[in-house]
Structure formats: C-alpha cells, structure tokens
Homo-oligomer: A and B are copies of this chain.
C-alpha cells in the first residue's frame, strides 16, 4: 500500500484529554481515533492489527473444536431476569434502551444468557453434547470511568467462547484444553513470558475463576505472582489461606500491576438450570448442561501489546500482528530512486511481503520518525546513497544496525 493512497496521518501530539499511553501512541501513529471517552474507532491500520489478533485467536479456538457464530447486541429483559442479572443493582454496567412499544431492551455486555438459551433449542440429548461455540463481538459496557484508553472502553471487541458439557468431568477436561490454547495464543503473540495464569474470584459459582494477567505498569489489576511456578493470585482473593491452598510461598510472591487479557469461568449447572438448558442422558434422565465461558479482550490485547512493546520512538509490533511487514522509505524524488523504490515495492509485494510504501515527498527525518512511530517490524530505505551502492538498506525496528542488500537478496533477507 502506498502512503499517498492510504488514509493515514501521524501526529506529534495525542489529544489533550487522552491520558492513557496505549491510546496516546495508537492515536499518534494513526491506528485509532478517539470519538469520546472510552469510545474509539479503528482506523485502517488499527483494524488490520485487530484482524491479525483475531486470526491468531480464531485458529486456536478452531483447533479445540470451537465453532464461530455471531450473537446479537439487543437483549431481552425477560431472559436476563431469569438469572437475576437484569437489575442494575446486580449488573451495574448495563446500557438499556427501549423499543417503540416502550418495552425495555438491553445492549449486550456479555452473551452468557442468550447463548445458553439459544443452545437449549439445539441441545436435547447427550448425543448433542459437548458443543463449543465462540464469537468476536462488540460488547457495550456502561463504565463509570473510562480512563485507560483501549484497556477499558465502553465499546470493545471480545472473543467469547462457551462450552456445553455433559458433566463436570467433561467440562473440566475442556477447561484444561482452553487453558492450554490460551497459553498458545499468548505465546504466539509474544506475551507468554509476562502472562500468568491467575487465580481470581469464581463467585458465585466456584471458589476460583482463572484469569490470564499480563504484567503491565498501566494495568488496572493487582496480582501476586510466583515467577518460577508461573502462577499468580489476584488481589481480590489474596489471603494466607489461599496461598496455602495453592501451595505457594508468601515470601516468593511479587506484587505487580497487570492487565487481564483473558478469563475463564466454570458456571457448573446453576445457570443452565435457571435457563432450562437440559439434556436427556443415556439412561433417559434429564440433566442440566455444564457451562463454561472463556473470554479474551481483543482490543484490550491490542492496547496491552502497544504499551508493552513500545519504546521511546513509538510502537513496536511483533511480526504476527503488524499491519504491514515493511516500511519502505523512498528518500528522494529523483527518477533513479523512484524507479528503484517502485521495483523493490513490486518485488516484495509479489513475494508475499506486505509493504507500506512511503512514496510521499517528505524529509528523511520525517519518514524515519514515522517508520519508528508506526512500528512495522522492518524498514527498507532507498536513497541516492543506496543507489550508488546498487543496494537497499534494511533495518529491523528493534535493532539499530543497518544492513545493505541487493534487490534480488531483499525478499530472502526479509523472509529469513
């Protein structure tokens, strides 16, 4: 993609009212646009990052038998009343609105209720179980304060997977498969060494739920972690008793701030019973379905990755999620330089490397600053100097060293 054709502008300064460093960076680099407090649009580069993260998550959800679908935003009052979660006293982040006939409807902040109710139309017998479904959906949550950029916004994209199992044993086996899949996701995203399986409150269904917490100074959660055992406890359930129960040593726990990038819940059969989600077992007995729910905040993950990998020059994206592989900077409008840059652009694009080609007439310093701010993994420079050497300059975003390559070596060097 040529910069002269893409809708992309970088800025020196983020809006004055934006205090969160993830949003400041992403706004300055042209990935997101702030529409209101806690409400951000995804610009073309931001949408690409989100789609890349979604694809990693999608692959791992499919690998454990998940099937993708898409539930609705509008929510019926009577459904959520059945589980006593309609009342604002029970759930304090509802957005609610009204149909023309004046009846109230809610806007989905979660899909546990509607998906469980829907499945009751599809699950009748033990032969219909287990079932695993997931979606990427925009959740709306009426957060009283939205001050952490895209780490906690009023509107955000979440992956939510739901498991429907015959009994506690089948549920538990799948729960462990999801934990393994989540570890794989965070490993692929380059976050595994700072992401911890964390014991958190499981109320009212179980003693614990599990969170995946990524260490981040700006994170909104506080966890106590054992780096060796790769286990953490959320402050909300921290106690001497819990430490003992989990076989941890209080003196080896480090207190740190973190961002919750994933969470998994075991609902047992309590919610199924309220929603009439039952099945007939092999012996003809009616049983409640065992229910699990497994979230990953997709846009939050983008914010976490933006903050975690950034340096003082700007964003630094891992290759898997970067919106393009290469920033190609053409430092002159001279014919020989333009021709060489166009050639490199075609050659790289044809070999499957995605390129953001800075074909503007801008100062080199401006181009380099933009390349650093936008944070693509590699930068290729074409200038009168490189032309004299019949070469192209290649530099990794994370490494100050510059390497010279001939045109026919360039794609190979980038794929290496």
Contact = CB atoms under 8 A, between A and B. Distances in A.
Q: Which of A131, A142, A143 has the most CB of B within 10 A?
A: A142
Contacts of A105: 36
Interface stretch (A93-101, A171-179, A308-316): A93-101
A237 interface: no
Interface string A156-194: 000000000000000000000000000000000000000
A6 B36 CA distance: 41
A44 interface: yes
B73 A140 contact: yes
Given A140-B74, A155-B74, A69 B44 contact: yes
Contact of A114 (B41, B76, B97, B132): B41
Q: How large is the interface on A (under 10, 10 to 19, 20 to 34, 35 or more residues)?
A: 35 or more
Contacts of A36: 74, 76, 105
A98 B154 CA distance: 12
A95 B104 CA distance: 11
Interface string A7-50: 10100000000000000000000000101100111111011001
A149 to B, nearest CB: 14
A305 to B, nearest CB: 18
A133 interface: yes
A116 interface: no
A155 B35 contact: no
A131 B43 CA distance: 13
Contacts of A71: 35, 41
B131 A39 contact: no
A15 to B, nearest CB: 9
B97 A70 contact: no
Interface string A109-136: 0000010001001100000100111000
A132 B7 CA distance: 8
Identify which of A7, A68, A73, A133 gathers the most chain B CB atoms within 10 Å of its CB: A7
Contact of A41 (B67, B70, B132): B70
A1 to B, nearest CB: 9
B74 A39 contact: yes
B97 A40 contact: no
A5 interface: yes
Interface string A281-295: 000000000000000
Nearest to A71: B41
A138 B136 CA distance: 13
Contact of A67 (B7, B33, B70): B7
A55 interface: no
B33 A121 contact: yes
B73 A118 contact: no
A321 B74 CA distance: 27
Nearest to A111: B41
B100 A7 contact: no
A47 B134 CA distance: 12
A68 B97 contact: no
A138 B140 contact: no
B67 A118 contact: no
9 contacts: A7-B131, A35-B71, A35-B118, A36-B76, A41-B118, A99-B154, A100-B143, A100-B144, A138-B138
Ranked 3 nearest A-B pairs via Cβ: A42-B70, A95-B97, A100-B144
